[in-house]
């Protein structure tokens, strides 16, 4: 069983590699690779692959468990991130210090 989401710093490269090696058609059916919101903002808006498949807060309803909604007292809907991608990136960075141990 594959995870629904994989949050990784090099999302664009991982997605591109999956496309190039032919595994993307299987991965995209079950898993969305997302990048932390800070890196997403700084990425080129012309990169359709990145904008479409790596968005940590898609507004099209495709990832309702990543984007929450709050209705204020004036009945205006506000969307917010349900998943802290920066915390995920910090954890991945910390785990990198144990890379040699985790490989064995």
What pTM was computed for the model? 0.59
pLDDT for the residue numbered 84: 77
pLDDT for the residue numbered 74: 94
Please report, for the chain, the start and end positions of each structural domain, with discontinuous segments joined by +.
5-98
Tell me: the pLDDT tens digits for 8-58? Answer: 777 778 888 988 999 988 888 888 888 777 677 766 666 777 777 777 777
pLDDT for the residue numbered 5: 80
Tell me: the pLDDT tens digits for 55-102? Answer: 777 777 666 677 778 899 999 988 887 777 777 778 877 888 888 887
Give whole-number Cα distances, 4 to 29, 34, 37, 66, in Å: 9, 10, 18, 11
Rounded to whole angstroms, the Cα distance separating 27 from 102 reads 24
Provide the token pair at 39: 């890196």
- 61 phi-psi bin (left φ>0, alpha ψ -120 to 50, beta other): left
Give whole-number Cα distances, 77 to 62, 70, 83, in Å: 18, 6, 18
């Amino acid at each position: 069983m594959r995870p629904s989401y994989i949050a990784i710093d090099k999302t664009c490269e991982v997605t591109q590699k999956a496309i190039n090696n032919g595994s993307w058609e299987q991965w995209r059916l079950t898993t969305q690779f997302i990048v932390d919101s800070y890196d997403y903002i700084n990425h080129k808006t012309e990169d359709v692959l990145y904008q479409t498949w790596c968005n940590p807060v898609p507004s099209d309803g495709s990832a309702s468990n990543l984007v929450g909604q709050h209705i204020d007292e004036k009945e205006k809907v506000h969307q917010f991130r349900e998943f802290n991608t920066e915390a995920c990136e910090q954890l991945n960075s910390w785990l990198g210090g144990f890379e040699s141990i985790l490989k064995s």
